[in-house]
Amino acid sequence: MELLLLLAVCGALVYAQGLVLGKGSLRGVKVSRRFSEEACYAGDRLEIVETIENAKGLPVPWLRLETMLPASIVFRGRGDTSVSRGRIYQNHTSLFTLQPRVKIVRTHQTTCVSRGVFVMETASLTGGDLFSIHTPSITLSLPHKLTVYPAPMEESVMPDSWRSWQGELEVRRWIVEDPFVVSGTRAYLPGDAFNRIDWKASARSLELQVRRHGHTADPRAMILLNIEESEMMWDRVTRPGDMETTISCAASLAAGMLGRGLSAGFAHNAVVSRYSDDTGRVEFGSGSGKLDETLASMAAIEPRIRMPFYELLRREAELELSDGMDYLLVTAFRSDRIMEAAALLEQSGHRVAFVEPPVRTKGGRRS
């Protein structure tokens, strides 16, 4: 009889703690999550900070926070978390025990191993009592967008064609005069055009003076990226590693040009991530802000073809831009159609240079 009474008392206590601690375990619990960066490069380290607060006067025996995150975010392990990884996504779980009126801040050290645009929207929060009799669960809205830029390629492995173009640019930049840049005046010499005479300077010096032109300080270059593996490719990339190498090569071109004060633009022939507002084309500009915009466009590239590369070249030729510029074509191969479309750009007054990323290729031809 005493044993039955003891069992009844224990059962009542277990049931009571379930009502008190379990049924209302999520009441007064607040959760927030932030990332240390809104954008970073592939290979960079990133901190994810979770803050959990229990505002009520009762403890929470256990609390589980589950989040679906992209698989490209790799956690550097700790014992109070678990990660179930898939090819595209991973399920990250954190466990907590909360005392009354306490706030816990937990920092996870991660590494972003690949580029992309990632959106994390919700998380699942589950609480319970000591014996998990009551385990209420809710879905939390924890929106965050993370942009991971492609890691630029090392200069030592960049194609020779890139270095050759750089040398040619320097020659054109400082030898060819720009009629729109005036750096001063000089004495008139036989053969100087009369429309270069500066009459005000001539009146001051009592002898003919002509305007001395400077050199082009802001040449423009457009980077066109081809993610096709061969001329026969029509939809999805089958060698993603080669595509990432090609994108990294284009990222190095953009960083090199914009870092030297040049004006650069960017366009590609790939499908754009649905999480990005990018259109597949970045207009000309200069400075660090333009580099971020260009790298964000590269981050949004999906491994699918939006149009053939030769079609992208034809559309560029049809823009009928008023002045000639440099086109850098980053492509692993050249086909007859690509060469014909590149010729259209040259006929429009532009200069065209091919930059071949260090990848394997089949179909078409390399330079």
pLDDT of residue 261: 79
CA 124 to chain centre: 28
Tell which residue, 100, 123, 120, 116, has the closest CA to residue 27: 100
In the chain, ranges of CATH 3.40.50 domains: 155-174+217-355
Contact assessment for residue 270 and residue 304, using Cβ atoms and an 8 Å cutoff: yes
For residues 110, 113, 116, 118, the Cα torsion angle rounded to the nearest 10 degrees is: -30
Cβ–Cβ under 8 Å, residues 72 and 118: yes
Amino acid identity, position 60 = V
CATH fold of 155-174+217-355 reads: Rossmann fold (3.40.50)
Helix 240-259 with 288-299: angle, nearest 10 deg: 170
How far apart are the two ends of the chain, measured CA to CA in Å? 95
Considering only CA atoms, which of 218, 217, 228 is closest in space to residue 329? 228
> CA 191 to CA 307: how far, in whole Å?
52
Token duo for residue 240: 């993603």
Query: Among all chains, which residue has been given the structure tokens 């300077």?
Result: 201
- The CA distances from residue 267 to 91, 236, 324, 329, in Å, are 35, 19, 17, 10
Strands 73-75 and 102-112: antiparallel
* Cα of 29 vs its chain's centroid, Å: 35
Looking at residue 324, what is its pLDDT?
Answer: 74
How far apart (Å, rounded) are the C-alpha atoms in residues 170 and 206?
Answer: 37
pLDDT at residue number 184: 67
According to CATH, where is 2.60.40.1530 located in the chain?
25-149
In DSSP notation, 216-269 reads -SS-EEEEEE---SSTT--SB-S-HHHHHHHHHHHHHHHHHHHHTT-EEEEEES
Give the CA angle between residues 279, 321, 334 to the nearest 5°: 70
Q: Could you list the pLDDT tens digit for every one of the 367 residues in the chain?
A: 777 777 776 777 777 777 888 888 999 999 999 999 999 999 999 999 999 999 999 999 999 999 999 989 998 866 567 777 777 789 889 898 999 999 999 999 999 999 999 999 999 999 999 888 889 999 999 999 999 999 999 888 888 877 777 766 665 555 455 555 555 677 878 877 777 788 887 777 778 888 765 555 457 899 999 999 988 887 899 999 999 999 999 999 999 888 887 889 999 999 999 999 999 999 999 888 999 999 999 999 999 999 999 999 999 999 876 567 899 999 999 999 999 999 999 998 888 999 999 886 544 454 4
- Name residue 288's amino acid: S
Q: What is the distance between the alpha carbons of residues 16 and 10, in angstroms, rounded to a whole number?
A: 10
Tell me: domain 25-149, CATH 2.60.40.1530, correct?
A: yes
Report helix, strand and coil shares of the chain as percent, to nearest 5: 30, 40, 35
Read off the tokens for 53: 């607060």
Q: Reduced to 3 states, what is the DSSP secondary structure of residue 309?
A: helix
What's the pLDDT score for residue 186? 77
Residue 208 DSSP SS3 = coil
Residue 294: per-residue pLDDT: 97
